[in-house]
Structure 1
Amino acid sequence: MIKPIRRFFLEENQGKVKLSQRAVIFFFCLVLSSFFWLLSALSKEYNSRMQIPLNYTELAGFFVLTEDPPKSIEVEVRGTGFELLGEQWALDNSPLQINLNSAKPSSRPNQFCIPTFKLRTRVIKTIDPNLSLRYISPDTLYFKTENRYGKKLPLQAKLDLTFASGYHLRSPVQLDPDSIWVSGPASFIDTVSAVYTEPMKFSKLDDSAKRVLAIQNYEIDGVKLEPEQTMVLIPVEKFTEKELNLRIKVVNEVDQRQIRTYPKEITALFLVPLSKFEYLDTSVVKGVVTFTEAELDKKQLKVELNGVPPYAKLLRKEVDKVEFIIKE
């Protein structure tokens, strides 16, 4: 069986195998008959279902969609194969514009609707004029909504910071703006107390850095952030240590008797930025103990450091408590 077929399609000439003349004529006739069959098939009429993508304008500002609206409608059209050929591709590139403000309240709460028969004229203009429109599905487009609420919320940066040796934050990270307006469904807005930037990592910082950060959006329909980005400033500076000898001040809240502490002064070690080194001294930072009735039966008073500026960080305090005597 195989040999006769092989002899029909192939012939050998001077040791070379090639298609026989009969095979060439056969394939030519096959292609020609297929072409005429295709022409005949495409000239007949067919019913075909197609998808028309939808684009939506927004609802009025005081409403918000709580579910994604339908992405397309299905239409059945009738036409010849030639007319249907490529029509779906053309429809994919010509979405139908839907004005949500034309939607009317439905019988269900928090729901609007648009009957698709109102779209019929526009659909006919969208499809090939030689095609006839038979029906549109679904018969109604439904949209779930809620009232839109909004409030101003503080913005917080999600940063992963590491510093080069000897460098630290000189002051807190700054955001501009440091709060944004968030609006959306009331059921969501009532649960949110802050908004965050997209995470960003800074490694081995040895100088101040400034970046524009996107604000994390919520994967919830209808939520809007205004604005959608912020400027972050990371103030970085080289730090050094500074030691202060602080004379202890006594605040007597009980009577007028004189109270003496031992020792009379303590040493405190701070970490300060180089630019502020000269500003940190004993005129700024004070060592204070407070004598109240609660301390009458105690032998020691707790030493508090008052006036420590935000840029200084206490590394070590020589003692946390001092002994005292009351002079009559």
Structure 2
Amino acid sequence: MINTLRAKFLGAIQNKKINIFLLFLILSFIILIFTKLSKTYANTIAFKIKRVNVPEERVVLNTSDSTLNMTLSTHGFKWLSYYFNRPEIIIDFSKDVIESGSKYIWTRNNARLFNTSTFTNQVKIIAVYPDTLFFTFDVNSIRKIPVELRQNISFSPGYDSFSGFLISPDSIKVVGPEHVIDTINAIETEMVSLKDVKSNIDITVKLDLPKSLKEVRYTNSDVNLNAEVERFTEGNLKIPITVINTPDDLKLNYFPKEVTISFYTSLNQFNLVKPNDFRVICDYSKLNSEGSFFIPEIVKTSEHVKSVKINNQRVEIIILE
């Protein structure tokens, strides 16, 4: 029993010594890291270039000059921050460049660039490569391009939208080289899929902007889609037929004298639909090749219906001597 207690006591002492050793080892490692990071080092790092205030009517074509290699001398903590967050240099095209022909030129002598928050007194710039950057530009063209809706929207039975789908804005400005934007005829939305719709639609839809056209800018990245959804119904009316373009020396008779039309409209506008809103004609100049019947046409319809069709597909004709 005494031997067991003695063994446990000695083991506890040994474990405590190991814990103290590990603690001192970790503290020594931390002190070593801080000592290293406090020292000054020289190294070369690639700064990403961010272009700002490029005139709207200009577009920078080349993307090769997207980095600036800089040799810096600074302490380890600063190098550590560069490691976690890639640094960038802002080139302000309203101040930092000069225009020459079809190029913007930035030079190392532009000291204003290096008096920013990117470089403090603890950062010494040893070298910059290249010392001159050339940005080729083209004159932009600006066009308004219509927006087209891609949709797979279905309404619940008895529901529809009288005014249809409204996109706002229905067109956007596209800014870029003329030879590029002349190839763009329309900007489509991303696919909108809705089923069994029975209430108003009011959503934001993203535009499917061409990702391959890097030099093109767009005033919008999304549009609003609206639709007023109502209860709908069908109705029928009898409309008299008018025959036109009949030769003066020809007498004819036809049957029937009127046709039945079916129209589709909202419940709110159903009572506004009147027979006088419609006109149905048979054009003699479009008589069928056998000269035995007309195909009736609707040439005037009501503004209160969404769709209309004629139930009678043909009108028989009789030539009178």
TM-score, normalised to structure 1, is 0.76
- Rate the CA distance shift 1:19–1:100 in 2: closer, same or farther, 3 A: farther
Residue of 211, 232, 236 corresponding to 1:239: 232
- Rate the CA distance shift 1:296–1:100 in 2: closer, same or farther, 3 A: closer
User: 1:103 and 2:93 equivalent?
Assistant: no
Query: What is the one-letter code of the residue matched to 2:242?
Result: K
Residue of 272, 275, 280 corresponding to 2:273: 280
SS in 1 for 2:277: coil
- Whole-Å separation in 2 of the counterparts to 1:276 and 1:197: 31
Report the alpha carbon displacement of residue 241 of structure 1 after superposing the two structures with TM. Answer: 1.6
- Rate the CA distance shift 1:178–1:195 in 2: closer, same or farther, 3 A: same
- Whole-Å separation in 2 of the counterparts to 1:252 and 1:35: 102
- Rate the CA distance shift 1:30–1:193 in 2: closer, same or farther, 3 A: closer
SS in 1 for 2:81: helix
The 8 Å contact of residues 164 and 206 in structure 1, kept in 2 or not, is answered as yes
- Whole-Å separation in 2 of the counterparts to 1:140 and 1:162: 59
The equivalent of 2:53 in structure 1 is 58
Structure 1 portions without partners, runs of 5+: 1-10
Report the alpha carbon displacement of residue 290 of structure 1 after superposing the two structures with TM. Answer: 1.3
CA RMSD of aligned residues (A): 3.7
- Whole-Å separation in 1 of the counterparts to 2:55 and 2:173: 18
User: 1:184 and 2:168 equivalent?
Assistant: no
- Rate the CA distance shift 1:33–1:228 in 2: closer, same or farther, 3 A: closer
- The range that moved more, 84-93 or 159-168, is 84-93
Q: Mapping of 1:166-245 within 5 angstroms?
A: 166-219=158-211, 220-226=213-219, 229-245=222-238
The 8 Å contact of residues 58 and 99 in structure 1, kept in 2 or not, is answered as yes
Residue of 242, 245, 261 corresponding to 1:249: 242
Structure 2 portions without partners, runs of 5+: 1-5
SS in 2 for 1:61: coil
Residue of 125, 135, 139 corresponding to 2:131: 139
SS in 2 for 1:283: helix
SS in 2 for 1:277: helix
Query: What is the one-letter code of the residue matched to 2:157?
Result: S
The equivalent of 1:3 in structure 2 is none
The 8 Å contact of residues 250 and 259 in structure 1, kept in 2 or not, is answered as no
- Whole-Å separation in 2 of the counterparts to 1:78 and 1:178: 54
SS in 2 for 1:249: strand
The 8 Å contact of residues 68 and 221 in structure 1, kept in 2 or not, is answered as no
The equivalent of 1:6 in structure 2 is none
Report the alpha carbon displacement of residue 302 of structure 1 after superposing the two structures with TM. Answer: 1.3
The equivalent of 2:307 in structure 1 is 313
- Whole-Å separation in 1 of the counterparts to 2:88 and 2:117: 12
**Aligned residues with identical type, % of pairs:** 20
Query: What is the one-letter code of the residue matched to 1:239?
Result: F
Q: What are the Cα deviations for residues 206-231 of structure 1, in whole angstroms up to 9, with x where unaligned?
A: 23333344444443334333355544
- Rate the CA distance shift 1:286–1:146 in 2: closer, same or farther, 3 A: same
The 8 Å contact of residues 69 and 142 in structure 1, kept in 2 or not, is answered as no
How many residue pairs match? The answer is 312
- Rate the CA distance shift 1:42–1:87 in 2: closer, same or farther, 3 A: closer
The equivalent of 2:284 in structure 1 is 291
- Whole-Å separation in 1 of the counterparts to 2:145 and 2:152: 22
The 8 Å contact of residues 38 and 77 in structure 2, kept in 1 or not, is answered as no
SS in 2 for 1:233: strand
- Whole-Å separation in 2 of the counterparts to 1:153 and 1:56: 26
- Whole-Å separation in 2 of the counterparts to 1:114 and 1:282: 74
User: 1:267 and 2:260 equivalent?
Assistant: yes
- Whole-Å separation in 2 of the counterparts to 1:126 and 1:153: 40
- Rate the CA distance shift 1:128–1:296 in 2: closer, same or farther, 3 A: closer
Q: What are the Cα deviations for residues 83-103 of structure 1, in whole angstroms up to 9, with x where unaligned?
A: 233345169487433112443
Query: What is the one-letter code of the residue matched to 2:140?
Result: R
